[in-house]
Amino acid sequence: MELWFTEKQTDTYGITMKVKETLVTEKTDFQDLAMIETEQWGTMLLLDGMVMTSDRDEFVYHEMVAHPVLATHPNPENVLVVGGGDGGVIREVLKHPKVKKAVLVEIDGKVIEYSKKYLPNIAGELDNPRVQVIVNDGYMHIHDHKNTYDVIMVDSTEPVGPAVELFTRGFYQGIYDALKDDGIFVAQTDNPWFKADLIRTVNRDVKEIFPIVRVYIANIPTYPSGLWTFTMGSKKYDPLEVDESAIPELDTKYYTPRLHKAAFALPKFVEDLTK
C-alpha cells in the first residue's frame, strides 16, 4: 500500500508527495507536529498539516532569510530569530563572523526537540556557543527588549495559530522599537499567487513604520506555488545600495553576491502588490 501526504494549499489546490515512513506525530501545546520521511524531499517537518522544511530544499529558505539582510547591515553583531525552531536560519546566521550573538526565540519547544533528532543537518548549530535558545513567545520577547538588536529575522509559519500575531502592525512596531538606531528586520511574507492580500497588507503596515522597505523573492518548491516573498524593513541601510563586490563568498547553495540585488527584481504582478 502506498502512503501519500497532501498539503491543501487552497480549497482547490494542493501538493502531494509519497511518504516512506511517519517518524513522529504529536499534538503539542500549540500545534499539530509531524515528521515524515518522503521519497522526493527526504525528512520533512509539518506543522498543522503545512510543510515547514525538508532536507532537500531547506537551504533556499534559510539562506534567503539570513543572508540578504546580513549582507545589508555593515555590523550585525546581535541578531534575533523569532520562530525558526528547526535551526536552519541560525545555521546560516553563524556563517557571518561579525555576528557575536544569535538569539532564537521559539514558542514551541517540541519543534526544537524533534528537529535536533530528525533534522540534524538543519538543527546542528543550535548548541553553538554563540547561540542562545529561548522557548517563549517571540511577540513578548520583542516588546521586552527595546533598542537591543542589530538585525531581527521573523521565521514564522503562515498566519495561523500562534503565528497570527506575527503578521500584525503592532508586531512590526515592536520590532522597530527592539532594533537599534540602524537596525534592519526581515520576515517571510508568503506567496503572491494565493496570499496577495497578505503581502499587500504587510507592505503597507511596514511602510508606515520603516523608512526603507524592500520585497524580494526566491523559489522554494515545497512551499505553496513555489514562489516565496520576503519583506525587509530598514531604518538606515538599503539592500539595493549594497556593493555586491564587498559581499563575501559564503558556503551556500542558493544565495550568492550576484543574486543579492537580483532577488529584489520582482515580476510585475508581485511589484504591483508593493505599491
The stretches in the chain having pLDDT less than 50 are none
Q: How are the residues of the chain apportioned to helix, strand and coil, as percentages rounded to the nearest 5?
A: 30, 30, 35
pLDDT for 169 equals 82
Verify whether residue 155 is a known catalytic residue.
Answer: yes
Judge whether 159 is annotated as a binding position.
Answer: no
pLDDT for 168 equals 82
Does domain 58-274 fall under CATH 3.40.50.720? My reply is: no
C-alpha cell at position 222: 515545497
In total, the chain counts a number of residues equal to: 275
Judge whether 155 is annotated as a binding position.
Answer: yes
Do the domains 58-274 and 3-54 match in fold? no
Amino acid at 214: R
pLDDT for 157 equals 61
pLDDT for 1 equals 79
The candidate with the shortest Cα–Cα distance to 222, out of 63, 38, 86, 88, is 38
Judge whether 158 is annotated as a binding position.
Answer: yes
CA distances from 267 to 160, 188, 192, 238, 260 (A): 27, 17, 10, 20, 16
Amino acid at 46: L
pLDDT for 245 equals 93
Note the pLDDT tens digit of each residue in 196-224. Answer: 999 999 999 999 999 999 999 999 999 99
Find the DSSP H helices in 129-225.
138-143, 169-178, 196-207
Judge whether 251 is annotated as a binding position.
Answer: no
* Rounded Cα gap, residues 257 and 214, in angstroms: 17
Catalytic residue among 57, 155, 190, 205: 155
pLDDT for 159 equals 55
Judge whether 162 is annotated as a binding position.
Answer: yes
Dihedral sign (CA 108, 162, 263, 216)? negative
Helix (H, G, I), strand (E, B) or coil at 4: strand
Q: State the DSSP code for 226.
A: S
CB 22 within 8 A of CB 33: no
CB 200 within 8 A of CB 168: no
Q: Where are the domains of the chain?
A: 3-54, 58-274
* Rounded Cα gap, residues 202 and 86, in angstroms: 24
Q: Which CATH class is domain 3-54?
A: mainly beta
* Rounded Cα gap, residues 46 and 24, in angstroms: 10
